[in-house]
Each structure stands twice: as structure tokens, then as C-alpha cells.
Amino acid sequence: MNLFLEAFAWIFSPDRLEGDALSLPANIGLHLWYTLVSVLIAAVIAVPLGWWIGHTGRGRNVAVVISGMARAIPSLGLVILLVMLMGVALKGPAAIVAFVVLAIPSILAGAYSGIDAIDRRTLDAARAVGMNSWQVLLRVEVPLSLPLLIGGLRAAALQVVATVAIAAYVGLGGIGFFILQGIQTRRFDQILGASIVVVVLALAIDAVLALLQRVVTPAGVRIRLTQARAAAVATA
């Protein structure tokens, strides 16, 4: 427990505000920036692709295989490799590419499984009332799939926020800088303090997305979910 007290003392020490680029707030900002940019780019790539897979039912197996392969790529190795290939001047973009690769599988899975999970009768009904393919996608499939899509975004954001810490190894700063420095100097209060900051950041991002997930869940789906849960409780 003592170590935890020391870690909090490290976080709230006035020294953390000193040294501009070396201050804790500046590195938290940088950490958040890398996370947001990476998840957004990954979403721009994966969401339309996922919706296309879910809507047409085509390419699902390819998506599963590619997602599995992406999971097997070690982020540390990919960051280092891309920085070497793209040059040290472009180490920021290089790291972001690696984080995008990390974030894509979860978001892609969220996008297509959200559409997969929709009751087929709902889609038949949409077609029966005369909606064309685009209308079915935009007015029925997309709204109904949003909760699972945001679930995918939550998973991706959690992974990226923890992995951005690795960026410190190639000299990109972020909260990982303090962890790496702490490992080199054996300052456990600093390592734990900085790790706690990352976890708090992850919790905050997750809470915001959880709220968003609640907001975007269509009212009808929410009622059905509550009923399903009640039914589950009743039979349990």
C-alpha cells in the first residue's frame, strides 16, 4: 500500500508541472492526442468497411482472417519497424499507423457484427415497406447497429490508450515516457504513478463512450434489451 501512496505523491507533486514538454499535463495531452487521432483514423477506415460487410454479407471471412492476423502483430515491433522504414522525422505518423492497425479489428468487428445481430424480420419489414438498399442501410441497419459499433470503439480505445505508452520507446513522449524513465532509474513510485494516470485516462475515455453508447441506443432496442434481461433473470 505504501507504494501506492508514493505513486500518488509522485502524481500530485508540484515537480510534475515543471519543464513544459516534460510536464505531466503536457504528456497527458500528447497521449490523448495520439489515442484520439489513431482511433478516429481507424474508425474512418473500419466503419464503412464493416457496414459494407454487414450489409452485403460479403467478405466476412476475409475480415475475420485479417483481424486475426492484425492481432498477432506485436505493436512494439511494428512501431519500431515503421519508424525505421519511414524515417525518424516521421516517427509520429509511423507510430499512429501502428496504433491504427491495432484499433481496426475491434472497430471492424463492432461494425459488421452490429448489423449481423439485427433480427432478419426487421430488415424484411424495411424492404416490404418499400425502402431501397441505401435506405435500409442508413435508416435501419446503421441506427440499430450503433450500440455494438460503439462497443467495438470502446475496446479499440482501451487497447490504444494502453499501447500508446509504448510510443515512448521511439522517443514520442506521452505518459509512457515516465514509465520508461522510471524503469531505467528504478523509480517504482514513478512507474506506478504514471501507470495509474494511464488507467484513469482509459477509464475516462471508456466512461464517455459508455455514455455515448447509452445515448445512441434506439429507444425501442433499449426496451427490448431490458425485457430480454428480465426474461433472463426470470429463467435463471
Partner 1 sequence: MTWVIDNLGLIWSLTLKHLAQCAVPIILGFLLALPVGWVAHRYTRVRGVVLSVVGVLYAIPSFGLFAVLASLFGIEYLSPTNLVVALTIYAVALMTRSVADAFDSVDDDARQAATAIGYSPVRRFFTVELPLAGPVLLAGLRVAAVSTVALATVGILIGVENLGYLFTNGSQRRIIAEVLAGVVAVGLMAWVFDLILVALGRVLLPWNTQAPRAARTRRVATA
Residues that bind partner 1 (CB under 8 A): 3, 68-69, 71-78, 80-81, 83-85, 113, 116-117, 148, 151, 158-159, 161-163, 165-166, 169-170, 175-176, 179-180, 182-183, 186, 188, 191-192, 194-195, 198-199, 202-203, 206, 229, 232-233, 235-236
Minimum gap (Å) between residue 202 Cβ and partner 1:
3
CA distances from 160 to 87, 121, 172, 199 (A): 22, 37, 15, 12
For partner 1, the closer CB: 44 or 226 = 226
User: Smallest gap, in angstroms, from Cβ of residue 129 to partner 1?
Assistant: 24
Residue 44 or 210 having the CB closest to partner 1: 210
Least distance from partner 1 to the Cβ atom of residue 175, Å: 8
Nearest to partner 1 of 126, 192 (CB atom) = 192
Give first-to-last CA distance, the chain, whole Å.
Answer: 39
Rounded to whole angstroms, the Cα distance separating 134 from 137 reads: 5
Alpha-carbon torsion angle 226, 232, 235, 236, nearest 10: -130
Toward partner 1, which CB reaches closer, 92 or 176?
A: 176
Contact 158/208 with Cβ under 8 angstroms?
Answer: no
* Start-end of H helices in the chain: 2-12, 24-56, 60-72, 75-86, 91-116, 120-128, 133-135, 142-163, 176-185, 188-216, 219-235
Tell me how far CA of residue 42 lies from CA of 59, 99, 160, in angstroms.
Answer: 18, 8, 11
CB of 74 to partner 1, least distance (A): 4
Nearer to partner 1 by Cβ, of 101 and 137: the residue is 101
57: helix, coil or strand? coil
- Whichever of 40 and 73 has its CB closer to partner 1, that residue is 73
In the bound complex, what is the minimum distance in angstroms from residue 17's beta carbon to partner 1?
21
The least CB distance from residue 130 to partner 1, in Å, is 28
